[in-house]
């Protein structure tokens, strides 16, 4: 039985459709990456799947229970760590996990034992009796994760668990997610980081403006794109000339910034000399040149026409939330 199934899932905020007919199926025991830029509808989808928000259209089941009609059963089967670590800064770490155990209906003694166990697991024993407000961002995320695990949920929702964390803390969370998944927990992970989805997910869905634009394993999605591209870092102001020079060699991809040109090439490394020659003939100075094999960002570009990372555009959902 799939751990999560959504069929035509929709959520409207007044006249704006933030999530527009999302269909997805998450197999039990997999890590499912839900990738998209800010405001794409990731969090709204997670809030519906975790029963925090009622869908306005379509349906979804989690752990075999309908999110709209069997919300209590869904909530008993899932663990949730939301985007902003939902912690009370005035509680201690130990108090928070014990409270979570009570909320999950665990007897007091078992809740205490489980709290000790989880605090050790996420390496917070030394800070367990300190107020959460004194924790670093990474410690707060680890505590949030520990609280979500208190009842050993079958399905774990992690909404952007590493956003804003330093690389070391991010790696720690990744290791913990992998360990949980090895233990059989299904993980639904939303992220705006390509590397995170690439590293962790068995399957990925890419969402943009409330719609799923691609779904599959990271490998199969990248294979769809096929060709690698050459990434040229140029001196300022020469980007238009460089694009003109490279136009005949390969397909120009949307630029990521004002100094970089991306050229999709059919023959990989064999096309590099052509590019170098063309730029040389045009008198364009190149800072660096790199052959890049397809990434999930390329998949995103191919499906949506714009890049995933660095998107600053406000979407309908953000506009409504604002």
Partner 1 sequence: MTQRLLLNLRVVRALGMRSVRQTFRRPQLMAPIVVFPTLLLAVQTGGVGAAVNLPGFPPVDSFLQFMLAGGIMQSLMLAGNSGGIAFAVEIETGFTDRLFSSPIPRSTIVLGRLVGTGALGLFASLWFLAIGLAFGVTIAGGVAGALVAIVLSTASALVFGSIGAAIALRTGSASVVQGLFPLVFVVLFLSTAFFPQDLMIEPAKTIAAYNPFSFIVDGIRDPMISGISVTETLEALLAIAGIGLFGLVLSARALRHRVRTG
54 lies in the site for partner 1, by CB under 8 A: yes
String of DSSP letters for 75-89: HHHEEEE-SS----T
129 lies in the site for partner 1, by CB under 8 A: no
50 lies in the site for partner 1, by CB under 8 A: yes
Q: Determine the Cα–Cα distance for residues 174 and 236; give it in Å rounded to an integer.
A: 37
69 lies in the site for partner 1, by CB under 8 A: no
Is-contact 7 23, C-beta < 8 A? Answer: yes
99 lies in the site for partner 1, by CB under 8 A: yes
| 131 backbone dihedrals φ, ψ, rounded to 5° | -70, 145
According to DSSP, the β-strands at 251-253 and 78-81 are unpaired
229 lies in the site for partner 1, by CB under 8 A: no
H/E stretch holding 196:
helix 194-200
Among residue numbers 131 through 190, which ones bind partner 1 (CB under 8 A)? 131, 147
Q: Determine the Cα–Cα distance for residues 278 and 242; give it in Å rounded to an integer.
A: 9
Q: Determine the Cα–Cα distance for residues 124 and 105; give it in Å rounded to an integer.
A: 23
H/E stretch holding 294:
none
Among residue numbers 28 through 47, which ones bind partner 1 (CB under 8 A)? 47
Region near partner 1 per CB under 8 A, out of 100-108, 121-129, 242-250, 256-264: 100-108
Could you tell me the two tokens for 298?
């390329």
Q: Determine the Cα–Cα distance for residues 256 and 229; give it in Å rounded to an integer.
A: 13
For partner 1 (CB under 8 A), the number of binding residues is: 29
Report the nearest approach of partner 1 to the CB of residue 181 (Å).
Answer: 20
Q: Quick one: 48 or 265, whose CB is closer to partner 1?
A: 48
75 lies in the site for partner 1, by CB under 8 A: yes
Q: Quick one: 75 or 170, whose CB is closer to partner 1?
A: 75
16 lies in the site for partner 1, by CB under 8 A: no
Report the nearest approach of partner 1 to the CB of residue 177 (Å).
Answer: 19
Contacts of 221 (CB under 8 A, 6+ apart): 204, 206, 214, 215, 296, 299
Return the residue of 78, 177, 206, 296 that touches partner 1, per CB under 8 A.
Answer: 78
Among residue numbers 234 through 293, which ones bind partner 1 (CB under 8 A)? none
Binding site for partner 1 (CB under 8 A): 47, 50-54, 72-73, 75-76, 78, 80, 82-84, 86-88, 90-91, 95, 99-100, 102-105, 131, 147
């Amino acid at each position: 039985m799939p751990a999560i199934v959504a069929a035509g899932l929709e959520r409207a905020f007044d006249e704006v459709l933030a999530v527009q007919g999302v269909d997805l199926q998450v197999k039990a025991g997999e890590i499912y990456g839900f990738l998209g830029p800010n405001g794409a509808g990731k969090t709204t989808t997670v809030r519906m799947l975790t029963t925090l928000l009622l869908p306005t259209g379509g349906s979804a089941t989690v752990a075999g229970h309908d999110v709209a009609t069997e919300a209590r059963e869904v909530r008993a089967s899932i663990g949730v760590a939301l985007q902003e670590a939902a912690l009370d800064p005035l509680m201690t770490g130990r108090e928070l996990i014990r409270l979570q155990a009570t909320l999950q209906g665990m007897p007091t003694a078992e809740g205490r034992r489980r709290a000790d166990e989880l605090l050790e697991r996420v390496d917070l024993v030394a800070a367990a009796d300190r107020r959460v407000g004194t924790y670093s961002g990474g410690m707060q995320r680890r505590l949030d994760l520990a609280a979500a695990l208190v009842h050993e949920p079958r399905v774990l929702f992690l909404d952007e668990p590493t956003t804003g964390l330093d690389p070391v803390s991010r790696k720690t969370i990744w290791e913990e997610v992998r360990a949980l998944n090895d233990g059989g927990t299904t993980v639904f992970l939303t992220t705006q980081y390509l590397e995170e989805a690439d590293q962790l997910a068995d399957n990925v869905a890419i969402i943009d403006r409330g719609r799923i634009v691609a779904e599959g394993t990271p490998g199969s999605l990248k294979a769809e794109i096929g060709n690698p591209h050459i990434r040229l870092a140029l001196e300022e102001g020469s980007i238009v000339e460089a694009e003109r020079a490279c136009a005949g060699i390969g397909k120009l991809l949307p630029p990521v910034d004002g100094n970089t040109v991306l050229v999709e090439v059919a023959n990989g490394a064999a096309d590099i000399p052509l590019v170098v020659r063309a730029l040389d003939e045009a008198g364009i100075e190149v800072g660096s040149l790199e052959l890049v094999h397809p990434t999930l960002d390329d998949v995103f570009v191919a499906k949506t026409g714009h890049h995933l990372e660095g998107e600053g555009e406000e979407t309908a959902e953000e506009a409504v939330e604002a």
